[in-house]
Amino acid sequence: MNEVPQTTPADDALLAEARSAAAQAYAPYSQFHVGAALRTREGALFTGANVENASYPLGVCAERTVLARAASEGVRPGDVAAVAITASPCGGCRQWLLEFRVERVLFDHDGGVEIRSAQELLPHAFVLDE
Ligand SMILES: [Zn+2]
């Protein structure tokens, strides 16, 4: 059996922020409310929720909302300590989490909490080689 990673008090606090953020979701079509919370290495906190649109593909997931909010305030790849999400991140969001090099991604899954790095969530990811 793989060892199940344990959440820290900081993880639990971030998960609680994500669960609170889910209440702000705009999800009139799916009714699927997702929240995300991001903590930077300096301790700044950002939250986000999914925002749907009548043109379905234009909807934005909670993870991308929170990463865009943080990036808009100057957060850059390597600045993010952890992101907590109330659902398993979709493939597109895994690419965003990887872009920001998030080392600790926590998400509700199967009645428990998964803790993974963005790299673990997206092996063999697309990256631009320079
Ligand atoms: Zn997503």
> pLDDT tens, 7-34?
999 999 999 999 999 999 999 999 999 9
**Number of domains making up the chain:** 1
pLDDT band at 2 (very low <50, low <70, confident <90, very high): low
Tell me which residue of 43, 44, 46 sits closest to 35, measured CA to CA: 46
Res 127: pLDDT:
86
Centroid of ligand 1 to alpha carbon of 14 (angstroms): 18
Q: Which residues contact 30 (CB under 8 A, 6 or more apart)?
A: 52
> How many Å separate Cα 119 from the centre of its chain?
13
Whether 48 contacts 23, CB under 8 Å: no
Question: Domain for residue 11, yes or no?
Answer: no
What's the 55 CA to ligand 1 centre distance in angstroms? 16
Task: Band the pLDDT of 6: cuts 50, 70, 90.
Answer: confident
Known catalytic residue at 63: yes
In a domain, 63, yes or no: yes
Q: Per-residue pLDDT tens for 42-65? A: 999 999 999 999 999 999 999 999
Residue 6 belongs to some domain of the structure: no
The domain containing residue 65 runs over which residues? 21-121
**Cα 95 to middle of ligand 1, angstroms:** 9
- Distance between CA 34 and CA 19 in Å, rounded? 8
C-alpha dihedral, 95 to 98 to 103 to 107, nearest 10°: -10
